[in-house]
Structure 1
Amino acid sequence: GRGGAGSAPSSYASSSVVGAVKSFFGMGETDEGSNLTDSGSGGKGSPTNDPLLAARMRSLRFAGRDAESLDLFVRELESSGHDDAAYRNLKRSTVEALRSILRGGGGGGAGGGAEGASSSSVDDAMALLSDSERAGGTTPESYAAVAAVLIERGRRNEAADLCEAALYASPSDGRASSSSSSEGLALLAMEAIGGQKDRPGRMRALRNAADDAARIEGTEQGEWIRSRYWTLKGKLGTKDARLLMWWNDPVRSRDNELELALEHVRRCKAEGLRPKGGALRSIVRLTGHRRRRRRGGDGGGDDDASDDDGAWDEEDSEGRTPPRPVGAKAANGGVDPRSRDVAQILLAAGEARRTGLDGDPRFVDDVASALRSLGGNGECVSYVREAVVRAGA
């Protein structure tokens, strides 16, 4: 619940104070009456070096010493008067305290990583967040730290409520002051909302979250969604991401996504940027869907499954016309669609070398299957040979 401005945060304070707090380098115990933070605090009402304290807490947390990190925060909070001004002066440190609590450093016992966040730890973090919010000491990172763990623990309703309340707040209250931080909060809100499959008006809520993030960034909702499509697809799934783009036709939506993927990859190549893995995968997989529709198939199937759709080979005895060699001209003298499709797949395969997909067995298999299904047997052999050489390098 929400505590009063002067009530001590006993629920999230470490039970061991004397002798538990070490120096920054962990060499020797700190005397009970000394200034534990060395952060410029001169007692109640004095300004605190919040960035320095936060950095020290973060170092302890990275070393797995969450209880000690939390002790630093509690001592500084108490020495600063434990009033509203103290919370407002400790915004960064509060974020570190929340992360330490969620790792199990307060109340829930020692633990590392998200799995250390017990129900009591999450509740303790919510209590600290509530106290800080009441005092005006929260930031988007404060809410994001708690919401991420709520999502991991399946408490999506609470995560969505928390993110939406913070996201739609006025920038003047300090909760939505940074566009980059608010974007992260918006993505968390959308991830939480996306998991609520039975929520009434779910798509409207997703658009509202996107709209608020776009407003903070100073752009339009549609452009914000389009520029983050691959991130949204990873968080929400293919169906919801496409609906956010107003791609409502199941067949046409694949072509829409393929065009967006090609646009993204070509732009990244021209600007020397690293493309999104999702865009590269889409080029490889969706090119096959488009080819099947041209051939008379339904183009169905799972976009996220391997696109092994029946290569043309010696065992194909159904009387279909074998493909023209890659590079051949179409009957009307234009560009052969197969040559274009092979070029698109090779573009994705080449750009994947600058990402974590290079050498991924599933991606290599997708590329090889797609090339062979298009009649690009020579290109397939060359690609697989080079992939094997790189994997053994």
Structure 2
Amino acid sequence: MKEALKSFFGLDDESDDDELLSKNLNDDIAIDPDFVMSTDMLLAAIMEAYRVMDRDKDALDLFLTKYEHMHENESLRLMSEKKKKDPSLSSMHSSKEEDKQRLVQSANEALRTFFKMNNDEDARLLFRSLNDSSRTAETYIIMVGGLVEKEPWSGEISQLYQSAVQSKCLTEELAFLAMKSVVFSKLDGKMRVLRDIIADTSSVLNISPEEFNSSRYWQLKRTLGYRFAKLLMWWRNLSSSWEKELKLSVRQLKQGRQGGHVIDEDALRCIVKFAGHNQRDDINQGVPVSDGPSEKDQVIQNKERKYGIKLIREVVVDAHQTTLYNSPAFVDDVAIGFCSLKAYDECIKFVKEMHSRDLIKLKQSTYEHAIYAAEEKKDLKMVDELIRNMEDGCSLNIK
């Protein structure tokens, strides 16, 4: 039986089962075959270890051994039915059902291994051989994830998605994979299909499609691209979309602080880049706009600057808990933001603090923004100190 299965899945017969199962993952402790096969969870864990070690065929051999044992039990059950006298018939049937249930995590691991080996066809064959009780949400995620960049939405992936929905196996992760497939395809009416997927997923999550889109906007943008993300938000005007992104980010920042969690890093970047935008002469240059001619204008300007500075401060605090705090590009954007809003002391203090950390190498432009701030304050001593820091930091960058 197992030889036929190996041939079916295109595997050679290089290693004997007993020899394989007597190997340790590190080749020095024996593995008891009965122990390996005792639970689906243990079998899957050992298969995963083999896969990580690039022993893919060994991983599949383990699975096929279990597969063979399952069908041996099925043969015994059929023999018992013929005899009609075997009192253990019901228990054997129960054992068969347990075996089917056991091929869940290990079957998923086998699918992962097939895709790792670029053996998509055998992954398909294995998936089709699994009964409904052996297919989980993870099974569909593995299948769609393995095919997402190879197959058009209108074909197999669409069928897998519909099967997952009907089997109540739809998850957010699967939805994003399906939407990615739609975007990659040449399908007409992509937006309609994307909205249908979001409607299905929102129903599972018990939220509205609008809430799904706004709460997951940044993930949608990364996965589907800016064009599809903004259309899902019903943002028609390209020129003002960045302002809507800023408003969304500020709202999420407030919600995150109230809920005690850090929001998406892209939202934090957006706030730093655009906070107080009306008072920036150039978003990327760190130059403030000139003060207005009237006292009323200046009051409005100061109010907008203070609010922008407050937002950037809050982002910097939250960024401590993310990878952004070690990002030279993010640090540069913070320096630009402070400088653009005339928060010269904040800019100088922040750049000096980041320079002293020695964990990242700052951009030359970051030092230049701080130097500009010191010059605006007419603090020549600080200018000299920052120039020395820049020379020191940039020389390290060159090395």
Task: With the length of structure 2 as denominator, give the TM-score of the two structures.
Answer: 0.72
Local SS of the residue matching 1:169: helix
Structure 1 residue 168 corresponds to structure 2 residue 157: no
| Structure-2 separation of matches of 1:282 and 1:233 | 13
Amino acid at match of 1:240: F
| Structure-1 separation of matches of 2:242 and 2:56 | 47
| Structure-2 separation of matches of 1:80 and 1:388 | 63
Note the 1:179-194 alignment, pairs <5 A.
182-194=171-183
| Structure-1 separation of matches of 2:253 and 2:215 | 13
Note the 1:1-393 alignment, pairs <5 A.
8=5, 10-12=7-9, 14-15=11-12, 16-18=14-16, 19-23=19-23, 25-27=25-27, 35=33, 38-40=36-38, 49-81=39-71, 88-104=101-117, 117=118, 121-132=119-130, 137-151=134-148, 154-157=149-152, 161-169=155-163, 173=167, 176-177=168-169, 182-196=171-185, 198-287=186-275, 289-291=277-279, 307-309=283-285, 311-312=287-288, 321-322=290-291, 331=298, 336-392=303-359
Q: Which runs of 5+ in 2 are unaligned?
A: 75-95, 361-399
Q: Which runs of 5+ in 1 are unaligned?
A: 1-6, 41-48, 105-116, 298-306, 313-319
Cα offsets for 1:360-392 (capped at 9, x unmatched) = 011111221222222222221111112222344
Task: With the length of structure 1 as denominator, give the TM-score of the two structures.
Answer: 0.73
Say if 2:246 and 2:275, in contact at 8 Å, map to a contact too.
Answer: yes
- Deviation at 1:62? 2.8
Local SS of the residue matching 2:134: coil
Larger RCO: Structure 1 or Structure 2 (Cα < 8 Å, ≥ 6 residues apart)?
1
Amino acid at match of 2:229: A
Say if 1:275 and 1:355, in contact at 8 Å, map to a contact too.
Answer: no
Q: Tell which structure's C-alpha radius of gyration is larger.
A: 2
Cα offsets for 1:150-180 (capped at 9, x unmatched) = 34xx41516x74443333336664xx33x6x
Residue 382 to residue 162, structure 1, CA distance change in 2 (3 Å):
farther
Residue 98 to residue 65, structure 1, CA distance change in 2 (3 Å):
same
| Structure-1 separation of matches of 2:143 and 2:160 | 12
| Structure-2 separation of matches of 1:234 and 1:290 | 27
Residue 236 to residue 373, structure 1, CA distance change in 2 (3 Å):
same
- Residues 249-258 or 228-237, more deviating: 249-258
Cα offsets for 1:232-259 (capped at 9, x unmatched) = 1211122221211112222343222112
- Deviation at 1:278? 0.8
Say if 2:262 and 2:321, in contact at 8 Å, map to a contact too.
Answer: yes
Cα offsets for 1:171-219 (capped at 9, x unmatched) = 664xx33x6xx111001111222233x4211111111111111122222
CA RMSD of aligned residues (A): 3.3
| Structure-1 separation of matches of 2:33 and 2:250 | 58
Local SS of the residue matching 1:234: helix
- Deviation at 1:335? 6.1
Q: How many pairs align?
A: 330
Say if 1:36 and 1:75, in contact at 8 Å, map to a contact too.
Answer: no
Residue 23 to residue 219, structure 1, CA distance change in 2 (3 Å):
farther
| Structure-2 separation of matches of 1:310 and 1:353 | 23
Cα offsets for 1:273-297 (capped at 9, x unmatched) = 23211111111223365556xx7x9
| Structure-1 separation of matches of 2:155 and 2:214 | 25
Cα offsets for 1:87-123 (capped at 9, x unmatched) = 554121111011112222xxxxxxxxxxxx3xxx122
Residue 235 to residue 137, structure 1, CA distance change in 2 (3 Å):
same
- Deviation at 1:147? 2.6
Residue 37 to residue 201, structure 1, CA distance change in 2 (3 Å):
farther
